[in-house]
Amino acid sequence: MNGKGQQALQTPPLRASSGIAKRMMQNWELYLFMLPAVVYFAVFHYAPMYGIQIAFKNFIPSKGIFGSEWVGFQHFERFFNSHYFWDLLWNTLSISFYELALGFPLPIILALAFNEIRNGYFKKSVQTITYAPHFISIVVMTGMIISFLSPSSGMLIRGLEALGIDAPQFLNDPAWFKTVYVISGVWQNTGWGTIIYLAALSAVDPQLHEAAIVDGASRFKRMLHINLPTIIPTITILLILNTGNILGVGYEKILLLQNSLNLKSSDVISTFVYRSGLVSAQYSFSTAVGLFNSVVNALMLITVNQIAKRTSATSLW
């Protein structure tokens, strides 16, 4: 491989390209291997990207995507000037940051705690059990939330009553929606989220610990100054990815938890796109809203990645 590359560098460009052609011919079956995936991405990812143009058009199904009439930024203006724009933006951002503030550090702390105890029956059981909720479907998870918080029979409501606390209407009170959404997500995903950090922690050099012990460093100090720095690159990458998704609050769970009473604080951009696009069939308008969402996400990702590049050695690209 190395020899071939050098050869290609030394020979004139014409010969080099024929070498590439030869190598392509040699492995022609590999292109066959790629074919299903390429077709899939072309049809279900790139074709929809072509369809984004309806955000700037008045899409009429009978005229098709190409044949519909251009209207410029009309749909975007309508969205930015609408009375719900700021509510949607605020809900989306606040749920994202709430989720990030609570859901991001907890797996790190749990992973550090797992790492402190030796491999044994206790560690294994805690891991198995805390990973398990990850496999509960969104529908079942929502069903659990609804029954646990049911004012007439909910387990959590009964629990609060037993403690003498007057339970609020968690699911109907807009003030509580975000907390319910975020806490249930934390319950479901914290355990699973530790895996990636535990993988990174397994790379800690034991010699560092031995040296630190000789110097009299306590367990806590070693965790803080040896284990934590080792996983900082992993933390940075995940933080970049999470911030890049700041307007990407998933609609699947919110859609199920939403009701007319909590809509004021539960309506986010993605659920709005679903409602106005698929329920009310305003294809062009909701595509514009969706496009606004993706563009902000892409910009956020690029910005955060750039900041990470400047301030630390770790970045996505």
Q: Is 8 in the site for another protein (CB under 8 A)?
A: no
Subset of residues 162 to 191 that bind another protein, contact rule: CB under 8 A: 162, 187, 190-191
Q: Annotate each residue in 290-309 with x if it binds another protein (CB under 8 A) or - if it does not, as one string.
A: xx-xx--xx--x--------
Q: Is 236 in the site for another protein (CB under 8 A)?
A: no
Subset of residues 195 to 214 that bind another protein, contact rule: CB under 8 A: 195-196, 199-200, 210, 213-214
Q: Is 15 in the site for another protein (CB under 8 A)?
A: no
Which residue number, 101 or 117, has a Cβ lying nearer to another protein?
Answer: 117
Subset of residues 42 to 81 that bind another protein, contact rule: CB under 8 A: 43-52, 54, 65
Region near another protein per CB under 8 A, out of 83-91, 96-104, 114-122, 172-180? 114-122
Q: Is 138 in the site for another protein (CB under 8 A)?
A: yes
Closest to 242 in 3D by CA, of 49, 97, 26: 97
Q: Is 92 in the site for another protein (CB under 8 A)?
A: no
Closest to 256 in 3D by CA, of 143, 131, 149: 143
Q: Give the whole-angstrom CA distance, residue 185 versus residue 159.
A: 20
Q: Is 269 in the site for another protein (CB under 8 A)?
A: no
Q: Is 126 in the site for another protein (CB under 8 A)?
A: yes
Q: Is 86 in the site for another protein (CB under 8 A)?
A: no
Q: Is 283 in the site for another protein (CB under 8 A)?
A: yes
- Smallest gap from residue 307 Cβ to another protein (A): 17
